[in-house]
Amino acid sequence: MISDLRYYSVAQRGREIGIRMALGTQARDVRALIVAQALRMGAAGLAIGLVGARLATRVLDSLLFGVSASDPLTFAGVSASLVAVLLLAAYLPARRATRVDPMVALRTE
Amino acid sequence: MLISLRNVEKSYPHGVGRTYVLRRVNVDIKEGEFVSIMGPSGAGKSTLLHILGMHDSAWSGEYYFMDQPVHRLTPKQRSELHKKHIGFVFQSYHLLDNLTVYENLEIPLSYRNVSRKDRQSMVADILDRFQIVGKKDLYPNQLSGGQQQLVGVARAVIANPQVVLADEPTGNLHSAQGKESGATIVQVTHSEVNASYGTRIIQLRDGWVVDEETSNQRPAVHV
């Protein structure tokens, strides 16, 4: 679903990407732009999620037996997995975006 | 020679044959020239300009830009060459709607390894030169068509390119601000008045170059 959203978001920005490439942007710059924006959104989401999860541990602690609800390794592992998924979901549409023919993007105004 | 085209052709498959947009185009443009490409709609003017601007790579023939064989370069090398030496004024401005005037002007500099401090100074200078300082925080949809094109011209010349290519630039390219850049200019225009600012006219018809004339061969156009 994250990947679908990123594809949609990149498709919406076809004109912008075409103009940037027509102005001399290299493919790697476009990829970096798209991935950086996705990471910024992801970082904000992750921060909110971590705070929410930390608050939830107070309730969960009483329901768990033999496991800590605030296990740092679990928090770190889940965060790393989410970032990896986000990176992949952002990179694939970014790679496709750099194959945009500037002439096609400039014509579709 | 700054620009040299040899037998450049562009065509599309059409049924069993091909439809030609440009036919055996041979053009030489020297440094400092102000060339106008004229002709009726569908003559291939904008196509030729986009080939010169290296946006279009689906053509045959030879194109030398500053002695570099563009026809043999990879897309990345073409993009580098474009980035370093060419400024482009688009017919429909093509400003980015989600960026302010200031940010739009900054785009060509951000891809040229210009430091943040230098970028600020260059944008401030061009805003001043084009007398649009008061518009720097506005978005394109808050500007009139003329102001948008002025920003488009400013964006094309901000990085001091050797060549400015302009697709139907109306009067903005010929204003004092546009001329100050000292670049070689190639414009597509329907206007005799706009063409009169140039040094040479290339006439296109159905993709063929049918005539070339220098400014001293034409009667003066009174504005």
pLDDT higher than 90, residue B5: yes
* B82: contact with A, CB 8 A cutoff: yes
Q: What is the pLDDT of residue A108?
A: 58
Q: What are the φ/ψ torsions at residue B53 (nearest 5 degrees)?
A: -80, 0
How distant, in Å, are the alpha carbons of A30, A33, A91, B33, B39 from that of A3? 17, 16, 9, 50, 47
Q: What is the pLDDT of residue A98?
A: 78
| Mean pLDDT comparison of A4-13, A73-82, B125-134, highest-scoring range | B125-134
Residue of A nearest to B158 (CA): A23
Q: What is the pLDDT of residue B103?
A: 96
The tokens for B200 are 């040479």
How distant, in Å, are the alpha carbons of A13, A90, A92, B166 from that of A85? 22, 9, 11, 44
Q: What's the whole-number average pLDDT of chain B?
A: 89
Q: How far apart are CA B6 and CA B25, in angstroms?
A: 6
Mean pLDDT for the stretch of residues A38-64: 84
State the CATH number of the domain containing residue B94.
Answer: 3.40.50.300
* A23: contact with B, CB 8 A cutoff: yes
- pLDDT above 90 covers a percentage of chain A that reads 3
What are the tens digits of pLDDT across the range B174-190? 654 555 567 899 999 98
Whether the Cβ atoms of residue B22 and residue B52 lie closer than 8 Å to each other: no
**ipTM summary value:** 0.80
Burial readout B19-58 (b: 16 or more C-beta within 10 A, e: otherwise): ebbbbebebebeeebbbbbbbeeebbbbbbbbbbbbbbbe
Q: Evaluate whether residue B69 is within a structural domain.
A: yes
Residue of B nearest to A19 (CA): B94
Mean pLDDT for the stretch of residues B132-139: 96
- The domain locations on chain A are 2-107
Q: How far is B45 from chain A (nearest CA, A)?
A: 15
CB contact under 8 A, A24 and B96: no
Domain extent for B85: 3-217
> A68 CB contacts (<8 Å, ≥6 apart)?
A61
Sheet holding B184-188, edge to edge: B86-89, B163-167, B184-188, B34-38, B200-205, B208-214
Q: What is the pLDDT of residue B223?
A: 43
Q: How far apart are CA B123 and CA B154, in angstroms?
A: 9
Q: How far apart are CA B11 and CA B22, in angstroms?
A: 7
pLDDT higher than 60, residue B108: yes
Residue B4 three-state SS: strand
The residue behind tokens 């959203």 is A5
What total number of domains does chain B contain? Answer: 1
pLDDT higher than 50, residue A50: yes
Q: Evaluate whether residue B162 is within a structural domain.
A: yes
Q: Evaluate whether residue B222 is within a structural domain.
A: no
Mean pLDDT for the stretch of residues B144-148: 91
Q: What is the pLDDT of residue A7?
A: 65
* B76: contact with A, CB 8 A cutoff: yes
What are the tens digits of pLDDT across the range A72-86? 888 889 889 988 888
Residue that wins the pLDDT comparison between B71 and A98: B71
Q: How far apart are CA A89 and CA A7, in angstroms?
A: 8
- pLDDT above 90 covers a percentage of chain B that reads 70
Q: How far apart are CA A92 and CA A7, in angstroms?
A: 8
* A25: contact with B, CB 8 A cutoff: yes
Q: Evaluate whether residue B223 is within a structural domain.
A: no
Q: What are the φ/ψ torsions at residue B36 (nearest 5 degrees)?
A: -110, 135
CB contact under 8 A, B50 and A103: yes
What are the tens digits of pLDDT across the range A84-97? 888 888 888 888 87
Residue that wins the pLDDT comparison between A37 and B33: B33
- B208 sits in which H/E element: strand B208-214
Pairing of strands B17-29, B34-38: unpaired
